[in-house]
């Protein structure tokens, strides 16, 4: 941000992840703090900046006046703490790392099957009953230790290892089929390659081909926001160094070709 006692500090993604409390929440209780697998602070700050610009444009339509839009990476990440941040503000107790556990939902985490990992989201008692039936263990739904959300959280240390033993008996695909038929939210933990090559993304047209001037045809992730009346598209790959210099100088800034030649000769561009 532009104010405050630390306004002059450099704001790199990793630094902000640590300073915001996010890294202290990420990882397992007996391990060190861990950053996310991508540059979430950079990406979230850019996304919020885009939102801010749109808000300012709407305000201009109403008032006729423009305004400055300020987005601070640290504040963006503080807002993304969501319920974890509010838990501290309400109780004065900082939440700690829990690995893949959810603080108030069980089971809502990662399990290892016979050939890989899957995620399970059993967020209410109706899902819990269907989940137990899909596992072939309907009696667990009526077990007094697990028959309410609160009791499942209370007996997490007993329930999670028990479920782990069950999931270890069959491959991921088998569990996903059973859970899907029961309407229980579940998914395979995929590699980046598996995710981007998935049939679903391919059918959605989410991965698009572009032509690079030196690398040839390559694939990129398309726009995730779909406007059905005015859809966007990937205009092309990242430009080469200086690829659009002359276009910008002549078409946007009004320089003549002779002036651009002079700038090149002087080493300015």
pLDDT digits (tens, 9 = 90+) for 118-133: 999 999 999 999 999 9
DSSP, collapsed to helix, strand or coil, labels residue 269 as coil
Residues 109 and 154: their CA atoms lie apart, in Å, by 16
Q: Where do the structural domains in the chain lie, given as residue ranges?
A: 13-91, 108-189, 191-238, 239-269
Percentage of the chain modeled with pLDDT above 70? 100
**Which pLDDT belongs to residue 1?**
86
Which segments of the chain does DSSP mark as H helices, in order?
A: 13-19, 22-25, 40-63, 73-79, 82-91, 125-134, 149-154, 156-167, 172-181, 192-196, 199-204, 245-247, 257-265
Query: What's the CATH number for 108-189?
Result: 3.30.1540.10
What is the pLDDT averaged over residues 67-86? Answer: 97
Confidence band of 211 (pLDDT split at 50, 70, 90): very high
pTM comes to: 0.86
**Which pLDDT belongs to residue 206?**
96
pLDDT greater than 90 at residue 87: yes
Catalytic residue among 13, 24, 42, 143: 42
Token pair, residue 184, equals 């229980």
Confidence band of 95 (pLDDT split at 50, 70, 90): very high
Confidence band of 247 (pLDDT split at 50, 70, 90): very high
C-alpha torsion 84→85→88→90, nearest 10: -100
Residues 237 and 241: their CA atoms lie apart, in Å, by 12
Contact by Cβ (8 Å): 201, 207: yes
Token pair, residue 31, equals 């391990």
Residues 250 and 262: their CA atoms lie apart, in Å, by 13
Residue 42 annotated to the active site: yes
**Which pLDDT belongs to residue 235?**
87
DSSP, collapsed to helix, strand or coil, labels residue 189 as coil
């Amino acid at each position: 941000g532009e104010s405050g006692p630390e306004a002059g500090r450099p704001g790199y993604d990793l630094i902000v992840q640590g300073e915001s409390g996010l890294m202290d929440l990420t990882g397992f209780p007996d391990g060190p703090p861990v950053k996310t697998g991508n540059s979430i602070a950079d990406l979230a700050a850019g996304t919020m900046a885009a939102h801010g610009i749109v808000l300012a444009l709407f305000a201009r339509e109403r008032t006729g006046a423009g305004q400055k839009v300020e987005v601070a990476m640290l504040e963006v990440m503080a807002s993304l703490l969501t319920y974890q941040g509010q838990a501290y503000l309400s109780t004065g107790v900082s939440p700690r790392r829990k690995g893949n556990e959810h603080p108030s939902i069980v089971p809502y985490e990662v399990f290892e099957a016979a050939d890989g990992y899957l995620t399970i989201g059993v967020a209410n008692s109706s899902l819990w009953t269907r989940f137990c039936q899909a596992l072939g263990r309907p009696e667990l739904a009526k077990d007094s230790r697990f028959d309410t959300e609160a009791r499942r959280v209370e007996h997490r240390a007993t329930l999670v290892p028990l479920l782990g033993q069950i999931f270890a008996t069959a491959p991921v695909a088998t569990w996903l089929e059973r859970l899907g038929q029961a309407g229980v939210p579940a998914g395979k933990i995929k590699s980046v390659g598996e995710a981007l090559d998935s049939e679903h993304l391919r059918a959605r047209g989410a991965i698009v081909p572009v032509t690079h001037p030196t690398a040839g045809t390559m694939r990129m992730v398309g726009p995730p926001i779909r406007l059905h009346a005015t859809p966007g598209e990937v205009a092309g790959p990242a430009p080469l160094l200086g690829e659009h210099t002359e276009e910008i100088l002549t078409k946007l800034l009004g320089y003549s070709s002779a002036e651009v030649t002079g700038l090149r000769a002087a080493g300015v561009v």
